[in-house]
Amino acid sequence: MVEEQKRKDQKLAYLHNEIAQLKRMIFGSKSERFKKETDDKQLSIFEDEAVEATSKPQKEEVSYTRKKPEKHKKRGHARPKIAAHIPRHEEQIEPEEDVTGARKIGEEITEVLEYIPGDLYVRKIVRPKYANADGEGVVIGPLPSLPIPHGNAGPGLLAHMHVSKFVDHLPVHRQLKMLKRDGVEIAESTSNDWQNNVAKLLTPLYDKLIAEVLSQDYLMADETPIPVLSKDKPGSTHRGYHWVYFSPETNLVVFDYHHSREQKAPETFLKDFSGALQTDGYIGYNGFTKKQNVVMLACMAHARRYFEHALQDDPDRAGYALEKIKELYLIERQASPPGEKISPDHRKKLRQEKAVPILDELENWMKKEVMQTLPKSNMGKALSYALGLWDRLRRYVDDGRWEIDNNLVENSIRPLALGRKNYMFAGSHRGAERAAMFYSFFGSCQKLGINPYTWLKDVLDRIPEHKANKLHELLPHNWINTKA
């Protein structure tokens, strides 16, 4: 009878948690920020003084003199300066009056930011042909290399279309409509051929990017779904996955498409990898725990999320765990101040001194509390998740180069999530593979603070004649804009 009642209580708690979670998804805030309720209520560090101050409300009169502003004199907002690097098209407006014999004493300058949509132009390449004086043969200048041989699309247009799609999330069919409004009509089949040719041209560079990332000894990994049209599922989409790998050392990111979320996807891609691998708790990465040349790290942000979900049902215990994790992140701010470069040895030393005692305290507390918590409750799930990955979660303190979470790789996935909302699906598995390549290039540019259009236009201009053994020079972290 007792066991049956216990099972019913567990089921009831589970259902309550499910309902609370659904309500939060529909009506609740998406923010996971934790703030102790007592933070804003604390008035004084001396309790007696605080009680006395609040128990005897006092009144006081406040008076001041204010200068009355002058009538008809309004203060305007300061107009922001327009960036100096933007080209200026100067125009002069002379007075309507006759200024013959007048002496110029100065000038008033007004700058207005303007925009010309779709500044298209035709690059007309003229190559004169000459017959040799001896009548033997004809001489003509060489045609510059183009990204698409015998094509009429220049590197600037191709770069613009790819950046618009994969960075600005503008589907190709909308781009073609915009070009049509400017009097340029391009068939969809033609634009598809352009994309295929550009992808073929950049594939060797993509292989170089993969090799560069896999040569690092510390990577973050995550995965995200992408709907794909497939002949195997007519009338619906196949659920494929982009597996994402990020190198914090080089700020390079690689997207690798696989038709599923199965374990062999990361195992195949990382078969020759050796070093530290940081992931969430997904079981697809568990195979790496058996590899001697791979050290597994977990993500504290994921563990924190579980406790944050339990906050409504179990505010005391969830609040305690969140407060401890908050202390760990405050230490990380000290270890990595914004705008300052701190050595890995300094970060490790600071973590060992300040973070390790907090981690020990949190671990002991969780081991005690898990025995008194229903496994199916939100708190039970939070404790089970954290304890199950605890060795990986606390391992970041052993090396100053390692991060406390893998938020950096999750940030790399956001452009893909935005893109899914605009073009909804990939047209084929091959299309999803091409998308992975461009997300890799543009994601790396974003991490490195490089204008993706400038990079791609320059690469498309140079790569047809670039030596294969120097292809690595065009990767975003090695790239130097020769036309800057």
Among candidates 115, 195, 199, which has minimal Cα distance to 161?
Answer: 195
Q: Which of 225-234, 312-321, 467-476 shows the lowest mean pLDDT across its residues? A: 225-234
Confidence of residue 211 (pLDDT cuts 50, 70, 90): very high
Instruction: Give pLDDT, residue 119.
Output: 75
- The whole-chain average pLDDT of the chain stands at 83
DSSP type of residue 473: G
Query: Do residues 433 and 257 touch, judged by C-beta distance below 8 A?
Result: yes
Whole-prediction pTM value? Answer: 0.78
Rounded to the nearest 5 percent, the helix, strand and coil shares of the chain are 50, 10, 40
Instruction: Give pLDDT, residue 357.
Output: 96
Residue 275: how many CB atoms within 10 A of its CB? Answer: 15
Across residues 192-203, what is the average pLDDT? 93
What whole-number distance in Å separates Cα of residue 98 and Cα of residue 372?
A: 94
pLDDT in tens, 289-327: 889 899 999 999 999 999 999 888 889 999 999 999 999
What whole-number percentage of the chain has pLDDT above 70?
81
Q: How far is CA 447 from CA 28, 182, 421, in A?
A: 32, 34, 22
Instruction: Give pLDDT, residue 117.
Output: 66
Sign for the pseudo-dihedral over CA of 193, 195, 201, 203: negative
DSSP type of residue 132: -
Domain ranges of the chain: 300-404
Instruction: Give pLDDT, residue 252.
Output: 95
Query: Do residues 301 and 322 touch, judged by C-beta distance below 8 A?
Result: no
